[in-house]
Structure 1
Amino acid sequence: MVKELVSVIAKRLVDHPEEVRVTEKQKEHLIVYELSVHPSDVGKVIGKQGRIAKAIRTVVTSAAVKEQKRVAVDILS
C-alpha cells in the first residue's frame, strides 16, 4: 500500500509520469522506498528547499504508522 502511495503522489507532481519508478528495499527494521523520476522532474519532486520531499515523507510515514512499519523515502537523481 505504501509503495503505491509514493507512486501516486509522484505521478501527480511530474511531467513524465510514465517514468516514475518506486522500488522497495528491506533493511533490518526499516523499509526504504527509492523513488526515481525523469531527470527533468527531480526538482519538482524535491521542491524549493526540499519542502515537497519533506511533505511526501511525512505522508508516507503517517500511512506506514497504520501498518506499524518504519519507512524512509529516498529520491534518486
Structure 2
Amino acid sequence: MSELTEDLAGLVEAVVAPLVEFPDDLEITSYETEDEAVMVEVRVNEADAGKVIGRQGRVIKAIRTLARAAASRTGTPVEVELID
C-alpha cells in the first residue's frame, strides 16, 4: 500500500503546486494510519493557505474528493489535511 500512499501524495502535490505563490514552502507528507487509511498532510506558506482552502472551502474539498476517487479502486480511505 506504500505505492498508493506515494501516488496520492504526488496527485495532491500536482494539484496544489500551481495554486501556491511560494512553491518552496510547499511540503506534502503522506503516511498510513493505524486503521490502514492514508493521511496526506499539506503544509503551505501562510499567504497561500487561503488559495488552497478556496472560497467556502471549495478548493480543499475538491482536492479531497479527487484523492478519495483515486483511492476508491483499492477501497482505501484517504484524508487530506491542510496543516497550519
TM-score of the aligned structures, taking structure 1 as reference length: 0.92
Identity among equivalent positions (%) equals 34
Matches within 5 A, 1:32-47: 32-47=39-54
Could you tell me which residue of structure 2 aligns to residue 73 of structure 1? 80
Give 4+ residue runs of structure 1 displaced > 6 Å after superposition.
none
Deviation per CA, 1:7-63, whole angstroms, max 9, x where unpaired?
Answer: 111101111122211111221121110000111000000011101010000011101
| Bigger strand fraction | 1
Q: Point out where structure 2 has 5 or more consecutive residues left out of the alignment.
A: 1-6
TM-score of the aligned structures, taking structure 2 as reference length: 0.85
Matches within 5 A, 1:1-77: 1-27=7-33, 28-77=35-84
Q: Point out where structure 1 has 5 or more consecutive residues left out of the alignment.
A: none
Greater displacement, 11-20 / 39-48:
11-20
CA distance in 2, matches of 1:68, 1:22: 22
